[in-house]
Amino acid sequence: MSESRITMYGADWCGDCRRSKRYLDEHNVAYTYIDVEADLSAADKVVEINGGAKSIPVIVFDDGTHLTEPSDIALETKLEELSIL
């Protein structure tokens, strides 16, 4: 299991969020999941990260970067870049 600190902001109804969670789980990547529906301050954080957009999932990495609505390929590329995969 990876020791990196990854935070994913999402919602249960979001298909892209479910897909990204499934990808991370299948590859044994440790992450913290924050439901923006349950935590309104997290919803505000998503808008801040995205420059005003409410798009989810937002996956924040410990190097200070983030991906918004990433494809599995984009997520894999980022995880490989960070030597997590």
Average pLDDT of the residues of the chain: 94
Domain chopping of the chain, boundaries: 7-81
Residue with tokens 């439901």: 35
Residue with tokens 């870049």: 81
- CATH class, range 7-81: alpha beta
72 contacts 78 by C-beta, under 8 angstroms: no
Is 2's pLDDT higher than 50? no
Task: For residue 35, list its beta bridge partners.
Answer: 10
Confidence (pTM):
0.92
